Structure formats: structure tokens, C-alpha cells
Amino acid sequence: MAFLRRLLTGSGRLPDDLRTALEAEGIVLLLEELPGSTTYRNYRAPGKRSNWKKQGTSGAIAVTGRRVVAWTSFNGREVDVPRDGPLPDGLEVVREDDAVCFTYDAAAFHADRSGTVEVRLRTDEAGQVVALATAGR
């Protein structure tokens, strides 16, 4: 089953160059090969339009001393924000049972996009991820 999921949704592993950069910053938590989904609501981007679309994916979450990164196999780096200071406007990180949900306003991070994107990655360590991502904010 794991092979079929990887075939359909990607490996969910960080690319080597990103992993190297994160290791240089000091990885506090790294979770890879997480099953999940990306949901688009009223999403507009060059060449893409969707009132509602949900896509299965695999992904990874990394927390370093400097930043929080959520990466998915189909879209690459979904979230990459510093850990110091408040979360950027338009980004929310919450625990949903056995998953972490990163919800963001696409226009807040990309001038040519609009709508809401929700990235859910399932992990037993969802509480720890949210605590680290929101600590001191």
C-alpha cells in the first residue's frame, strides 16, 4: 500500500538542497513521508482556476531554529516562514485530530494568486508541530 501511495502522491521527502539548508540551520523536528491533502478554495493563479479542489499528496514538515517549512510532493515549498515574531498575516497553523493544517491566503505570499490554500499533513506528532510553529507568537 505504501508503494501505491508513493506512486500516486509522491515520496513526501524533502529535496536534497532544501534538506542541506535546513540541516545547516539546526533541525529541531523533521517529519517526512506524511500522507495528506491540499485543498484550494476560490483559488486563482496564472493558468489555474478552482472554486474548490482537493488533491491527495505526501509531504514533509521541518522546524529549525530559524523557520518552519511545509513541503508537498506536487507543489514543493508550501510554507516557509521565520519562527521569530508573529505568524505572517494570512497564515494559520492548527492541529486537527491527527493532522497539522497550514491554511494560508495565497495573495499574502504570491502577488499573482488569490484564494485560500489548506495543506493537511497527518502525523501523530501534530501537537508538537503546532506548539513549535506557534511558540512565542
Q: What is the mean pLDDT of residues 25-37?
A: 97
Q: List alpha helices for the chain, DSSP H.
A: 2-9, 16-25, 106-109, 126-134
Displacement of CA 60 from its chain's centroid (Å): 7
Per-residue pLDDT tens over the stretch 2-20: 665 555 667 899 999 999 9
Each domain of the chain, given as residue ranges in start order, spans 2-134
Q: Determine the Cα–Cα distance for residues 3 and 72; give it in Å rounded to an integer.
A: 17
Per-residue pLDDT, averaged over 65-79, amounts to 92
The pLDDT score that the predictor gives to residue 9 is 62
Percent of the chain with pLDDT strictly greater than 90: 80
Distance CA 61, CA 70 (A): 5
Query: Residue type for 113, please?
Result: R
The grid coordinates of residue 113 equal 494568486
- Contact present, 112 and 46 (Cβ < 8 Å): yes
pLDDT computed for residue 35 by the predictor: 95
Task: Compute the average pLDDT of residues 57-69.
Answer: 96
User: Considering only the top CATH level, what class is 2-134?
Assistant: mainly beta
3-state class percentages of the chain: helix first, strand second, coil last, to nearest 5 = 25, 50, 25
Tell me how far apart the alpha carbons of residues 41 and 114 are, in angstroms, rounded to a whole number: 9
pLDDT at 42: 98
| Residue 88 in grid coordinates | 505572517
pLDDT tops 70 at residue 93: yes
In angstroms, the CA 127 to CA 1 distance is 26
Distance in angstroms (rounded) separating the CA atoms of residues 121 and 70: 9
